[in-house]
Amino acid sequence: MISFWYGIIPAAGAFLNRRSWRNFRQRFNELRLKPFLDYSAYQTTTEAGGLFRFIGGFESTDGHTLWIRSTKLTVPVAIMGAQTYLLPMPKGEIVPDVLYPDEEAPERIRWDRVSTLTEGARVFVGGLLKPLDNRMTFVSTKENPLLVIFYDGPDRSLTNGVIRAGQYKNQYWNRLTPYGLILGAFSLIIMAFSFLSRPAFRLTAISALIALFIPLYPLLPPGMIFTFLYRRLGRQAGICRFCRELIRLPLFYFSPERETPARRGRGDPPPTGGNKPSSQTIRLPNGEPYGCVSRGSLPAANGAIPLIIPGERPRKGGDWYVFGSLGEDPEELPREPQDLFAPWGAIPGKPEILAREYNVKARLLEIASWLMLFAGLAVNVFFIGMVLFFLR
């Protein structure tokens, strides 16, 4: 009973939360590969509609339709049925110096709360654009749920903000945890009072009273040191998951059957060879050529190429992989893409291998963190049990 209410129920809630945020990130990644909606696309979209993304400022709402305005276009959004989020994001940063800041997770808000938001707030909309009431409108369908994100800060920061904030931190405390704790405590209180007056079951009553306060034990000495280690290891696991998602960002643009993303030459060729440009490049939705070049070293100029993972360096003998908009010269490093959602920067090693390594490290750290939590619980339960045993 204790493991069910205090363990299985919160664990089920944590699983649902993780799946929810994983779907949130996956849907955003799908939509950021769609074309930007501009005036020309808005005028030429057919009755069948099309999938687009759009960024603008919140203008107004009548409770059912949200109006978003960019510099050249105002678009209506039918918000009923849309997945609507309020994204906390620090102002003025593209890649954070602290990879996993202590910030709130995105808040999923009801569509009828949109009217309380401040006019001019930045809004990202991705989904199906089709005719509605004789006007092209973003609408939500079962096959293509509409994603609406309200955020603050530079538009180019939105992708990293979604990846960072979508990493759910406190997995134990979720929407199911309060129900599990209340029902578990109620059951243990009934058990304790049922057996307290019966001497033969006095130990059972004492055990029920000890178990009643199990959720508080991680905060008590001497097991509190294990709780500190649990939180520290969990934070490091979150950093690894965030790094893994950052590395995967540019890989979404390439076909999954390709072993590696597009590469175009080396900056430091071996003594017997020269540069070997590759034709494997892709076109961004705006027509830009996008790909990757590998280099043995990066330019010495400070800030010439941003690092997708701040502070990370390749292993000895490893190459840098630089993603961005490609020019005509194969020796030229990729430039910052015009597409606000296309990553630009250097990764210290082969992206696929590095992403797998971060994934394994995150899983090991997560397992270690939970072992620390259970160890702290066991220490405190044993300590309190011994105290009660000698005081009885």
Going by the DSSP 8-state scheme, the letter that residue 314 receives in this structure is P
CB 375 within 8 A of CB 226: yes
Query: Phi and psi of 187, rounded to 5°?
Result: -65, -40
Single pTM value for the model: 0.79
The CATH superfamily holding the domain 16-165 is Bacterial OB-fold (2.40.50.200)
Tell whether omega for the bond before 222 is within 30 degrees of 0, i.e. cis: yes
CB 121 within 8 A of CB 193: no
- Burial class of 278 by CB neighbour count within 10 A (0 to 12, 13 to 18, 19+): middle
Neighbours of 319 (CB within 10 A): 21
**What is the tens place of the pLDDT at every residue in 227-245?**
999 989 988 888 898 899 9
pLDDT of residue 89: 57
Neighbours of 353 (CB within 10 A): 12
Q: Where are the beta strands (DSSP E) in the chain?
A: 50-61, 65-69, 74-78, 83-86, 107-108, 122-132, 135-139, 147-151, 263-266, 282-283, 289-295, 320-325, 345-347
pLDDT of residue 332: 85
45, amino acid identity: T
Residues with pLDDT less than 70, the chain = 89-105, 112-113, 115-116, 118-120, 165-171, 255-280, 300-303, 388-389, 391-392
| Side-chain-side CA neighbours of residue 224 (13 Å) | 5
In whole angstroms, how large is the CA radius of gyration of the chain?
A: 26
Q: In whole angstroms, give the CA distance from residue 160 to residue 86.
A: 15
DSSP state letters, 38-99: -HHHHHH--TT-EEEEEEEEEEEE-SSEEEEE-SS-EEEEE-TT-EEEE----TT-SS-SSS
247, amino acid identity: I
| Side-chain-side CA neighbours of residue 309 (13 Å) | 24
Neighbours of 374 (CB within 10 A): 13
